[in-house]
Structure 1
Amino acid sequence: ILMEDLRAEHAALHNSTGLTNGTIVSEIWGGDRRLSLFSYTIETINMLLLPMIQTKKEALGSMGNDAPLACLSTFQPLPYDYFKQLFAQVTNPPIDPFREKVVMSLMCPIGPEANLLEPSEKQHRGWKCKEIDITFDAQEGPKGLSKTLDRICEEACKAAQDGYQFIVLSDRRAGGTRIPVSTLLALGATHHFLIEARQRMKVGLVLETAEAREVHHMCVLLGYGADAICPYLVFEIARALKNEGVLDASYTDEILYKNYSDAMERGLAKVMAKMGISTLQSYKGAQIFEAVGLAEEVVDKCFRGTPSRIGGVTFEILAKEAYERHYLSYGTHTADMLVLRNPGNYHWRSGGEKHINDPLSIANLQEAAVNKSTSAYDRFRESTMESVKACSLRGQLELVTSENPIDISLVEPASEIVKRFATGAMSFGSISLEAHTTLAIAMNKVGGKSNTGEGGENADRYLNQDPDHNKRSCHQTGCQWTFWSDKFLPRSCR
Structure 2
Amino acid sequence: SGGEPDATGDDSGPDATGDDGGETAAGVDTGENRTVRAYQAAFGYTTDSLNHLVEPMAESGKDPVGSMGDDTPLSVLADVDRPLFTYFKQLFAQVSNPPIDYIREELVTSLESRIGNQRNLLAETPEHARQIVTDSPVLTDAETAALKSLGGDDGVDGTGAGHEFSAVTVDITYDTGTSLTDAVNRVRDDAATAIEAGADVVVLSDRAVGSGRLAVPSLLATGAVHHQLVR
Amino acid paired to 2:167: C
Distance 1:45 1:96 in 2: 31
What is the aligned partner in structure 2 of residue 193 from structure 1? 228
Distance 1:86 1:101 in 2: 28
Deviation of residue 31 (structure 1)? 6.1
SS of 1:193's equivalent in the other structure is helix
Going from structure 1 to structure 2, the CA distance change for 1:79 and 1:122 (only over 3 Å counts) comes to: closer
Amino acid paired to 2:79: T
Gaps of 5+ in 2: 5-32, 132-162
Cα deviation, 1:221-273, whole Å, max 9, x if unaligned, reads xxxxxxxxxxxxxxxxxxxxxxxxxxxxxxxxxxxxxxxxxxxxxxxxxxxxx
Map of 1:70-469 to 2, 5 A cutoff? Answer: 70-85=75-90, 87=92, 92-93=95-96, 96-97=99-100, 99-103=101-105, 104-114=109-119, 117-120=124-127, 123=130, 126-140=164-178, 144-196=179-231
SS of 1:51's equivalent in the other structure is helix
Distance 1:177 1:145 in 2: 14
Tell me which structure has the larger Cα radius of gyration: 1
More helix by share: 1
Cα deviation, 1:107-158, whole Å, max 9, x if unaligned, reads 1221112456111599465211111111110133xxx100011111111111
Amino acid paired to 2:182: K
Deviation of residue 94 (structure 1)? 5.0
What is the aligned partner in structure 2 of residue 32 from structure 1? 37
SS of 1:84's equivalent in the other structure is coil
SS of 2:89's equivalent in the other structure is strand
SS of 2:187's equivalent in the other structure is helix
Deviation of residue 165 (structure 1)? 0.3
Conserved 8 A contact 1:88-1:94: no
Amino acid paired to 1:54: E
What is the aligned partner in structure 1 of residue 53 from structure 2? 48
Identity %: 34
SS of 1:173's equivalent in the other structure is coil
Conserved 8 A contact 2:176-2:213: yes
Distance 1:95 1:182 in 2: 38
How many positions carry a matched residue from both structures?
A: 165
SS of 1:131's equivalent in the other structure is strand
Could you state the TM-score of these two structures normalised by the residue count of structure 2?
A: 0.63
Which has the higher relative contact order, 1 or 2, with Cα contacts under 8 A spaced 6 or more apart?
A: 1
| Aligned pair partner of 1:67 in 64, 67, 72 | 72
Cα deviation, 1:385-411, whole Å, max 9, x if unaligned, reads xxxxxxxxxxxxxxxxxxxxxxxxxxx
Cα RMSD of the aligned pairs, angstroms, is 2.8
Distance 2:194 2:36 in 1: 37
Distance 1:80 1:135 in 2: 18
Distance 1:48 1:139 in 2: 34
Amino acid paired to 2:64: A
Deviation of residue 88 (structure 1)? 6.5
What is the aligned partner in structure 2 of residue 446 from structure 1? none
Distance 2:112 2:176 in 1: 39
Conserved 8 A contact 2:119-2:128: no
Going from structure 1 to structure 2, the CA distance change for 1:112 and 1:95 (only over 3 Å counts) comes to: farther
Deviation of residue 54 (structure 1)? 2.1
Conserved 8 A contact 2:116-2:130: no
Conserved 8 A contact 1:132-1:155: yes
Conserved 8 A contact 2:118-2:128: no
Cα deviation, 1:82-107, whole Å, max 9, x if unaligned, reads 11225576xx525635x444312111
Could you state the TM-score of these two structures normalised by the residue count of structure 1?
A: 0.31
Conserved 8 A contact 1:29-1:35: no
Gaps of 5+ in 1: 5-27, 197-494
